[in-house]
Copies of this chain bind each other. A is one copy, B any other.
Amino acid sequence: MPAVATEAPSIVEYRAWFQCIAGCPVHYSLQDIIYRCPRCGNLLEVRHDLERLRQHPPAYWKNLFDTRFLRNQWPYGSSVWGKKEMVCPEVDNANVVSTFEGGTNLFWAERLGKEIGVPELWIKQCGNSHTGSFKDLGMTVLVSMVRQMIAGGKEIPAVACASTGDTSAALAAYCAVADIPAIVFLPRDKVSVAQLIQPIAHGALTLSLDTDFDGCMALVQEICARNNIYLANSMNSLRIEGQKTVSIELVQQFDWEVPDWVIIPGGNLGNVSALGGGFLLMRDLGIISTLPRIACAQAQRANPLYQSYLNGFREFHPMQAQPTLASAIQIGNPVSVEKAIRTLQMFDGVVEQASEDELANAAARGDRTGLFNCPHTGVALAVLFKLVERGEIRSHERVVVISTANGLKFPEFKIKYHESRLADVVPQHGNFPVNLPADYTQVRDAIRRVLEQRRSGRLTAPPSPSRRGRESVP
């Protein structure tokens, strides 16, 4: 074991740059405003000087990351910046815009795991974060780099993104912290109320547009390209560098053991390559020696990657995504599809889908065991249940489900579920409030009735309209 490293090593030595994912040889500075390869049009990715990183043995990195993890030394207490040498080494600490990212609970889902026969079931609660979703992990990197560029004299009048809700909340919050103008492009009536109010409250210019996410995505690219505005979507691979720390953190929370499976919901698909990127980097540096299998979970109504998976990824066809409760992944033309397919091929990956009924019931089933997650996590849980049922995931395997956002962003989804008001969903785990006067006897009787029902096991059944009518006094 090396000595305990409490101080950051001299990180100016570490280098990273943009390079084309197809391998075109040119390097671009992370301070260049560039998202695609000028030669071939492919997306860029951030590459690191692996030789430099390999100068330290794996034990050095594990120890360094553990020493910094959630501690008080700015900015290394953030689980993203605690891995700074592998994320974005050139940002000055003074320019870091951070809300103490990562370190979210890796929740042992003991009850749910027992129910499905997979005792080692863990839910990575990425939604317990500053803006309520995993997007904080990447946005801290992007906005910090923007602050660095502005500090260096670069003219950046604003930062913009298209969003299905979570990205815009994160961009707006981080820009509010740093006092940088933010512009968010949202598809009108396709994000939740909570997701709409986040950028508004943070003072962002919030454009509510008569189109879907794919329309917003096309427009924001044109606006940014022609108006010198900086693009914050995940095609800007600075975001991916922050998001990839979720893999490192997962392994860190398992005392540097690799799980067997990671299940992640997929829409625009930047997160799939980010997840894979973290694992590959750790393997390249000898921090881990195996890779998990990755399952990408799509909503049946926005499943272009699933369709491609069915044909062995030989073809990919963008589609018109249909309205789905999993609104954040209602995306038919995912920007990061090529990176995602490449990742899935390296991780013995699986793509599976969930219907509206499946995702809503899976989310509610999770809630009954103490979770409180977004509908997209519902998609991932539904896919988990399917993979277990068909024996692809086996009972001795250690499984992690990435919960991408907090259920508090989606109260309408949950209320409508329990009120049986979701189209195409038959609630299997419904519950409802009992309205009563503040009267001792009536309250006591209601409690006795329900405890009796619970004892006899009847409470796990969905409420019948008649029982609901009897106990409700509207």
Contacts and interface: CB of A to CB of B under 8 A. Distances in A.
Contact of A201 (B99, B185, B407): B407
A466 interface: no
A441 to B, nearest CB: 10
Contact of A209 (B129, B178, B364, B438): B438
A207 B418 contact: no
A194 B411 contact: yes
Contact of A255 (B72, B198, B211): B72
B72 A370 contact: no
A103 B432 CA distance: 33
Contacts of A149: none
Interface string A121-134: 00001001111100
Nearest to A70: B70
A307 to B, nearest CB: 26
B436 A210 contact: yes
B129 A128 contact: yes
A466 B454 CA distance: 57
A157 to B, nearest CB: 6
B158 A411 contact: no
Nearest to A200: B431
Q: How many copies does the complex hold?
A: 2
A22 B81 CA distance: 49
Interface string A44-80: 0000000000000000000000000111100000000
A177 B368 CA distance: 8
Interface stretch (A276-284, A328-336, A444-452): A444-452
A426 interface: no
Interface in A199-242: 200-211, 215-216, 219, 222-223, 226-227, 229
A370 B238 CA distance: 21
Nearest to A109: B177
A83 interface: no
A414 interface: yes
- For A193, A255, A370, which residue has the most chain B Cβ atoms within 10 angstroms? A370
Interface string A244-279: 000000000111000000000000000000000000
B111 A207 contact: no
B227 A444 contact: yes
Contacts of A203: 367-368, 429, 431, 459
Nearest to A253: B72
A261 to B, nearest CB: 20
Nearest to A207: B434
Given A253-B72, A369-B177, A209 B436 contact: yes
Given A177-B111, A223-B440, A99 B370 contact: yes
Contacts of A443: 185, 207, 209, 219, 223
B372 A131 contact: yes
A464 interface: no
A415 interface: yes
A210 B438 contact: yes
A391 interface: no
Nearest to A256: B72
Contacts of A219: 438, 440, 443
A196 interface: yes
A174 interface: yes
A36 interface: no
Nearest to A451: B157
A37 to B, nearest CB: 24
Interface of A: 69-72, 99-100, 103, 105-107, 110-111, 125, 128-132, 157-158, 160, 173-174, 176-179, 181, 183, 185-186, 188, 193-194, 196-198, 200-211, 215-216, 219, 222-223, 226-227, 229, 253-255, 364, 367-370, 372, 406-409, 411-412, 414-415, 418, 429, 431-438, 440, 443-444, 446-448, 450-451, 454, 459
